[in-house]
Amino acid sequence: MKKVLGKIILVAITLIAALAMLYPTYKANNLEKIQKEYLAKAKQAKNSSDSLAVIEAFQKQYGEALMKAKNSQLKLGLDLRGGMYVTLEVDVAKLIEETATKQYVDDTFMQVVEKTAAEARNTEDDVIDIFLKNFNAIARPKGKSLISYFDFGNVRDLSEEKIIEKLRNDQKQAIDQALEVLRQRIDQYGVAEPNIQKQGATRIVMELPGVSNVADMRSLLSTTARLEFKLVKNNRQIVEFFYRVDNLLKGKLEPVVAATDTAKVDTNKVAKADKTKTTAKVDTTKKKTDSTKVAADTTKKSDTTDPYAGLPKEEAAKKYLSDHPFTRLFTTYYMPPQKNANVVPIYYTVNQFPEGEYMFKIMEDSLPRFKEIMNRPEVKALMPAELAIAFDAKPDPRFVEQNINVFDFYSLKKEPELTGEVIVDALATYDPSSNLPVVTMAMNADGAERWSKITGANLNKRIAIVLDDRVYSAPNVQSKITGGNSQISGMSSPEEARLLEIVLKAGALKAPVEIIEERIVGPSLGEDSIRNGITASVIAVILVVLYMAMYYSTGGVYADIAVVLNIVLILGILASLGGTLSLPGIAGIILTLGMAVDANVLIYERIREELHKGRSFKSALDEGFSKALSAILDSNITTFITGLILFYLGSGPIQGFALTLMIGILMTLFTAILITRALIDITLNAGKDTISFGEKKIKTIK
């Protein structure tokens, strides 16, 4: 028993690992069925409050488990789930046209641009090279040079070489800008598990599973990016609004439903309708918070009753969560005006909040409920008409390493102070005095004049940089900025600075994207693909299993066990790597199935040969596995190299096929050589002298 203990452990660990990697997929499927049942109940609810309560009940009981399972489950490709496949191309010819100085553009230049655009549609050559070729053929004979059309005010000693360098750099960055804008839009649209990749120098490929409204998605992808500068209004007004939402949801505030969602509301009447005046605080430690009374105490304690008095800490916290159905979704901090003062947590127990600046943070799993409540008509009616809520584009990097996504969100003035059209350039660099990452931003003459007025009027206030309603930065205005050149600091990393540069340039570089290919896969077609793929796989497995068991007897059964384990391992590893299973991927698995059996055939045939030579069973077994190894390695390594080439040079379906093929080859070597041998050794150790490989029993000398 001791001789094969290690092999028993190997087989057991392999089996457990394979099932463990696929368990999240099984769990996610079950939880999604439960989610559908809850959503059906929510639709049947009599009012929005009951509907929200049903959804919150699901989130409370299953939300976190579903999110974790989905992150680790085996993802299905577009051809299996249905959805939309889109290829977009950055219009570099339009970028060149927009980069040229408007007053210098003439018919000759437009002739060059139009010819460049026409040629670029029919070739994969670099668009800048095409433009230069046409410019030399059309414009130069007329005495024109690149300097005749391009004037970059921030580039010293302008020359044709610098103009070409700038155009190439703009072309390279345009795809990054388009990619960031499109990714944020897709995330906001709510597409689950999108696949967005760069292809070549100017193209973006997107796989959007589950998309049914094609017209809306097409419009979303084609819309020009909106870059705006908005004032941050994280003040007492918005905190009081959050307090009133709590009371509205508890039924202690009469709803104010206007004729339209955007109608203005008399906030004085809303305040009078407030029926609660609690003064208690959840924090039972009773810490002092400077001299500010932050929604914790009032001067008239005799007029109120503390609802948490005498309760154990856990019960007090539970009651607080029950009493605050909205504000429990996020945390609020007050930032005292004193220097070096610590931020103070806010508890919405009484409608008394100090004037000043506030900060709001929310966990990712609370975002859907927050947005759902904010979109209710009665809540919209309470919202101050001049304000809007916007979330950070990226989670707080300090928590990401702990696998926790926490987002800041802001109350912003609806009307922007400035838009991105005025930006002419942005650059991520380092501050020479502190060596910290910063972003420099340059504006045109009109933007510089307006920016000077805006910054002068909002000293020590924050202005958010917003792209498509997501906040990328909210720097504090430290001084009046003249000349149109600004420096934005406070970035935590060079990557964050680079992202902000891309965002700012999204308002400076007008490089539209065009949909050049679009394919729609309906859910029914996806279901047919799954059914046909599974049918083909099952038939292949059954035929191989039957053939191996009939031809190689007991040895064939062990090979079949290894093959089934091989398939489970492929799917499990694909899920753990975050890969996507597609129809070509299923083809790769079926091909791997044949290769896995082929490895066992080579081993078993070699064992048969050695037995015919008169070797003992143990000797024939050792010889079969060792001598067949070189042939197995040769065939599998060459196939793996082919898969590697396909993966790096191919795209989309080809990559899916190559990935499953490479994983399958590695698992084939593991199962065919190690697992099969382990099963045979375990059987021999149990007391059997030989194992049948489809041959008639022959007497051997041990």
**77 vs 23, more confident:** 23
- pTM across the whole model: 0.56
The rounded Cα 443 to chain-centroid distance in angstroms is 32
CA 657, CA 536: separation in Å to the nearest integer?
Answer: 16
Helix (H, G, I), strand (E, B) or coil at 388: strand
Q: What is the mean pLDDT of residues 668-691?
A: 83
Query: What is the pLDDT, as a whole number, of residue 152?
Result: 74
Average of pLDDT values for 375-398?
A: 89
Among 575, 632, 578, CA closest to 602: 632
Residue 51: band (very low, low, confident or very high) from pLDDT cuts 50, 70, 90: low
State residue 516's pLDDT score. Answer: 83
d(CA 109, CA 487): 35
DSSP 8-state class, residue 268 = H
Greater confidence, 684 or 152?
Answer: 684
Phi (first) and psi of residue 265, to 5 degrees: -125, 140
Instruction: Collapse the DSSP code of 206 into the 3-class scheme (helix H, G, I; strand E, B; otherwise coil) and give the result.
Output: strand
Residue 327 pLDDT:
92
Residues 6+ apart with CB under 8 A from 579: 74, 75, 585, 656, 659, 660
Task: Using pLDDT thresholds of 50, 70 and 90, give the confidence band for residue 699.
Answer: very low
* Averaged pLDDT for residues 302-316: 65
Query: What value, to the nearest 5°, has the Cα angle with vertex 180 and ends 178 and 183?
Result: 105
Phi, psi of 99 (to 5 degrees): -75, -30
Is residue 442 within 8 A of residue 425, CB to CB? The reply is: yes
pLDDT given for residue 300 in this prediction: 37
User: Is residue 580 classed exposed, middle or buried when 0-12, 13-18 and 19+ CB atoms within 10 A define those classes?
Assistant: buried
C-alpha dihedral (289, 291, 296, 301), degrees to nearest 10: 140
Q: Pick from 462, 461, 448, 465: which is nearest to 499 by CA?
A: 465
pLDDT score of 239: 94
Mean local confidence (pLDDT), 174-191: 75
Averaged over 612-630, what is the pLDDT? 85
Strands 75-76 and 580-581: parallel
Q: Which helix (H) or strand (E) holds 679?
A: helix 676-685
Q: Give domain limits for the chain.
A: 2-73, 85-207, 230-478+487-506, 521-685
Per-residue confidence (pLDDT) for residue 188, from 0 to 100 = 63
Task: Identify the helix (H) or strand (E) that includes residue 43.
Answer: helix 2-44
Six token digits for residue 153:
């005010």
pLDDT recorded at residue 241: 94
For the purposes of burial, counting CB atoms within 10 Å of the CB of 599, is it exposed (0-12), middle (13-18) or buried (19 or more)?
A: buried
Query: What pLDDT does 136 receive?
Result: 93
- Partners of 441 in the β-ladder: 426, 486
pLDDT interval class at 399 (50, 70, 90):
confident
Interior angle at CA 324, CA 322 and CA 328, nearest 5: 100
Phi, psi (deg, nearest 5) at residue 115: -65, -35
Give the total residue count for the chain.
Answer: 702
Percent of the chain topping pLDDT 90: 14
Average pLDDT, the chain: 79
| pLDDT per residue as tens digits for the range 84-136 | 888 888 888 888 888 888 788 899 999 999 999 888 888 878 889 999 999 99
> What's residue 133's pLDDT?
93
Query: What CA–CA distances, in Å, run from 36 to 40, 44, 54, 74, 649?
Result: 6, 13, 12, 20, 40
Q: H or E element: which one contains 209?
A: strand 203-209
CB 616 within 8 A of CB 623: no
Q: Which two tokens stand for residue 76?
A: 């299905």
Q: H-helix or E-strand containing 387?
A: strand 387-392
pLDDT reported for residue 627: 85
* Predicted pLDDT of residue 509: 54
pLDDT value of position 130 = 92
Element (H, E) at 473: strand 470-473
Task: Give CATH for domain 521-685.
Answer: 1.20.1640.10
* Residue 195, SS3 per DSSP: strand
Residue (of 400, 396, 417) closest to 408 by Cα position: 396
Whether pLDDT at 319 is above 90 = no
Contact 656, 529 (CB under 8 A): no
User: How far is CA 313 from each of CA 280, 332, 354, 364, rounded to the nearest angstrom?
Assistant: 13, 20, 26, 26
Structure-block tokens of residue 618? 């143990």
Q: What is the DSSP letter of 76?
A: E
| Backbone φ and ψ of 410, nearest 5° | -135, 150
- The band of 330, judged by pLDDT with boundaries at 50, 70 and 90, is very high
* Residue 465 DSSP symbol: E
Identify the burial level of 80 via C-beta atoms within 10 angstroms of its C-beta, where 0-12 means exposed, 13-18 middle and 19 or more buried. Answer: buried
pLDDT single digits (tens) 233-261: 999 999 999 999 988 888 766 555 433 33
Please check the confidence at residue 488 and state whether its pLDDT lies above 70: yes
Runs of H (alpha helix) within 190-292: 214-222, 236-249, 267-272
Mean pLDDT computed over 149-155: 73
How far apart are alpha carbons 526 and 520 in whole angstroms?
11
In three state form, how does the secondary structure of 408-450 look?
EEEEEECCCCEEHHHEEEEEEEECCCCCCEEEEEEECHHHHHH
Identify which of 346, 317, 335, 316 has the alpha carbon closest to the alpha carbon of residue 242. Answer: 346
Whether the pLDDT of residue 363 is over 80: the answer is: yes
